[in-house]
């Protein structure tokens, strides 16, 4: 073969290789955008990869399957209609929205029928960068990474999800407000694993869950102005070794309606809790006051130990009580006896009933005597998928159309200025 012929063949081979490469398409990363419209610009599952830091994912009305994962910082995920934008897991997908970036906002949409979480805001990721939490993800608490700052979840309806409706994990400086959470087989709203959560849970309606609001190893959290009714347990506060940063410390609970948490048509609570307004297990330095706590079949507030975490320096202040099996039970274990706890319910709570009796008259300054109060057996529950939806809420508050620039820290309210609410607080929805 002549030299000239070899050169011709080489040129043809190079051209063929170029054509083959072009046929495979451009392998570079897709270009990000400040605003991603779903479904016009991308599918739900594509949107998280396409939005740039500080951007907006705007979801049009419709029902969407699958999961939206967002890892960029300062991103807002917004539905254009809270009732009309529905992320539906179809009882097959694990999570609805997963946010791992700093200062993420999720608002104005519905998430339902996910096997794990409706909205998961987490500071823990797996080897692939996907957001995870505790439990079925196999997370090891001793390997807890630094917490990730900033989140806002608001005007979200989370219903019939297999673990949590709204779940904040290993995060700091967050606000969960004006949401409706129902049908969670663990809890409607959860904050966990943060030594200094600096989190506000306020103005939510939390109904028909195993637990309304759950706080585990979650310190410096303020729970105010929520309607927490018709769950098995209204609020569960615990310290444990399943997550890092135990015990739970410096919790504030004020201005909430915590009523009628004895609903049988709900998922069974993992520890068998039922008919409990607030369960404090191994908490330290909690301040609970100015709440309406009524109609909880077994106990309004149950203060006890958790594993070897003892209840220490917790205060139960004035509030309104009524029709609970017993208003306050103090029952730490011999293994983790409590100390420094104070029940000071004030003159307006003269009829408060306690186990052991007479605790309300002791005031503060001496250790409380313990009772042997135990939880009665709970009635059977139902699947989270079968929990009846709350009444559809129309005319819900709307949000503006600007991306959020969340602050580095959240200013928590002064609960000493909060008054006990009336029974109709947020009765028309959140």
Compute the distance between CA of residue 188 and CA of residue 184 in angstroms, rounded to an integer: 5
- Whether 106 shows a pLDDT value over 70: the answer reads yes
Q: How far is CA 15 from CA 5, 12, 18, in A?
A: 16, 5, 5
- Whether 123 shows a pLDDT value over 90: the answer reads yes
Residue 7: pLDDT band with limits 50, 70, 90: very low
Tens of pLDDT, residues 215-255: 999 999 999 999 999 999 999 999 999 899 999 999 999 99
Q: What integer is the mean pLDDT of 273-290?
A: 97
Compute the distance between CA of residue 179 and CA of residue 176 in angstroms, rounded to an integer: 7
Q: How far is CA 269 from CA 164, 226, 317, 393, in A?
A: 12, 21, 27, 27
Compute the distance between CA of residue 40 and CA of residue 45 in angstroms, rounded to an integer: 13
> How many other C-beta atoms lie within 10 A of the C-beta of residue 128?
6
Peptide bond just before 247 cis, omega within 30 deg: yes
- Whether 295 shows a pLDDT value over 70: the answer reads yes
Q: Which tokens sit at 348?
A: 């307006």
> How many other C-beta atoms lie within 10 A of the C-beta of residue 152?
20
What pLDDT, on a 0 to 100 scale, did the predictor assign at position 347? 65
Mean pLDDT is lowest, of 134-138, 262-266, 276-280, 349-353, for: 134-138
Residue 30: pLDDT band with limits 50, 70, 90: confident
What pLDDT, on a 0 to 100 scale, did the predictor assign at position 4? 42
Burial 407-420 (b: 16+ CB within 10 A, else e): eeebebeebeebeb
Q: Between 366 and 180, where is the model more confident?
A: 180
Q: Which residues, 6 or more positions from 17, have their beta carbon under 8 angstroms from its beta carbon?
A: none
Compute the distance between CA of residue 371 and CA of residue 366 in angstroms, rounded to an integer: 16
Mean pLDDT is lowest, of 114-128, 166-180, 282-296, 351-365, for: 351-365
pTM of the model: 0.91
Average pLDDT, the chain: 89
């Amino acid at each position: 073969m002549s030299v000239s012929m070899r050169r011709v063949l080489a040129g043809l081979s190079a051209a063929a290789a170029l054509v083959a490469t072009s046929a495979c398409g451009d392998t570079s990363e897709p270009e990000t955008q400040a605003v991603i419209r779903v479904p016009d610009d991308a599918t739900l599952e594509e949107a998280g990869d396409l939005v740039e830091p500080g951007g907006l994912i705007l979801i049009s009305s419709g029902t969407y399957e699958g999961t939206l994962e967002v890892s960029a910082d300062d991103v807002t995920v917004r539905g254009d209609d809270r009732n009309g934008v529905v992320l539906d897991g179809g009882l097959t997908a694990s999570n609805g929205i997963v946010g791992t970036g700093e200062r993420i906002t999720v608002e104005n949409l519905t998430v339902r029928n996910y096997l794990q979480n409706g909205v998961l805001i987490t500071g823990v990721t797996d080897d692939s960068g996907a957001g995870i939490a505790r439990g079925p993800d196999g997370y090891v608490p001793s390997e807890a990474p630094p917490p990730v700052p900033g989140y806002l979840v608001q005007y979200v309806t989370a219903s019939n999800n297999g673990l949590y409706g709204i779940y904040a994990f290993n995060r700091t400086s967050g606000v969960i407000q004006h949401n409706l959470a129902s049908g969670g087989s663990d809890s409607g709203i959860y904050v966990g694993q943060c030594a200094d959560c600096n989190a506000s849970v306020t103005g939510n309606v939390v109904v028909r869950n195993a637990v309304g609001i759950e706080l585990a190893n979650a310190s410096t959290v303020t729970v105010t102005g929520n309607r927490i009714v018709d769950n098995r347990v209204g609020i569960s506060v615990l310290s444990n070794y399943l997550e890092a940063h135990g015990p739970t410390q410096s919790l504030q609970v004020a201005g909430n309606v915590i009523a009628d948490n004895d609903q049988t048509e709900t998922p069974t609570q993992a520890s068998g809790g039922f008919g409990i307004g607030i369960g404090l297990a191994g908490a330290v330095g909690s301040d609970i006051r100015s709440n309406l706590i009524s109609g909880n079949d077994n106990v309004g507030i149950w203060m006890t130990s958790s594993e070897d975490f003892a209840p220490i320096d917790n205060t139960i202040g004035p509030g309104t009580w009524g029709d609970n099996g017993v208003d306050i039970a103090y029952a730490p274990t011999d293994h983790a006896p409590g100390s420094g706890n104070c029940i000071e319910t004030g003159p307006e709570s003269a009829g408060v009933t306690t186990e052991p009796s007479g605790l309300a008259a002791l005031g503060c300054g001496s250790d409380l005597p313990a009772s042997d109060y135990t939880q009665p057996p709970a009635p059977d529950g139902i699947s989270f998928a079968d929990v009846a939806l709350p009444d559809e809420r129309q005319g819900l508050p709307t949000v503006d159309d600007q991306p959020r620039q969340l602050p580095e820290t959240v200013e928590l309210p002064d609960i000493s200025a909060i008054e006990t609410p009336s029974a109709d607080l947020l009765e028309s929805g959140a």
